[in-house]
Copies of this chain bind each other. A is one copy, B any other.
Amino acid sequence: MIRYPYQRNPIIEEEKNISYSNRGMDFENAVNISNNYYREEDIAIIYKRPTPIHIVKVDYAHARIKDAYFEKQSTTDYNGIYKGRYIDFECKETKIKTSFSFHNISSHQIQHLEAVLRHNGIAFFLIYFSLLNEVYLLDAKYIVDKYEEKKRQSISYQEIKTYGTLVEQAYLPRLKYLDAVEKVYFNETSKSHN
Binds B, one of A26-34, A67-75, A135-143, A152-160: A67-75
Chain A interface mostly: mixed
* Interface segment out of the listed A17-25, A48-56, A174-182: A48-56
Name the interface residues of A58-93: CB closer than 8 Å to any CB of B.
Answer: 58, 60, 63-71, 75, 79-86, 88
- Pick from B53, B63, B84, B86: contact of A65, CB under 8 Å: B53
Q: How far is the CA of A77 from the CA of B106 in the complex (A)?
A: 25
Known contacts A53-B53, A55-B6, A81-B86; is-contact A116 B60 (Cβ 8 Å): no
CA of A81 to CA of B80, assembled, Å: 9
Contact indicator A53/B54 (Cβ below 8 Å): no
> How many identical chains are in the complex?
2
Q: Which of B60, B64, B86 is in CB contact (< 8 Å) with A68?
A: B64
Ordered by A's residue number, 22 sampled pairs between the chains whose C-beta atoms are within 8 Å are A1-B60, A2-B58, A5-B55, A6-B71, A44-B119, A45-B112, A45-B119, A50-B50, A53-B68, A63-B69, A64-B68, A65-B67, A65-B69, A66-B66, A81-B86, A81-B88, A81-B119, A81-B120, A83-B119, A84-B86, A84-B120, A86-B86
A residues apposed to B, CB below 8 Å: 1-2, 4-6, 39, 42, 44-45, 47, 49-55, 58, 60, 63-71, 75, 79-86, 88, 112, 115-116, 118-121
Known: A2-B60, A65-B67, A84-B119. 16 other contacts (CB 8 A): A2-B63, A5-B55, A6-B54, A6-B71, A42-B115, A44-B119, A50-B51, A53-B53, A63-B69, A65-B70, A79-B80, A81-B119, A81-B120, A81-B121, A83-B119, A84-B85
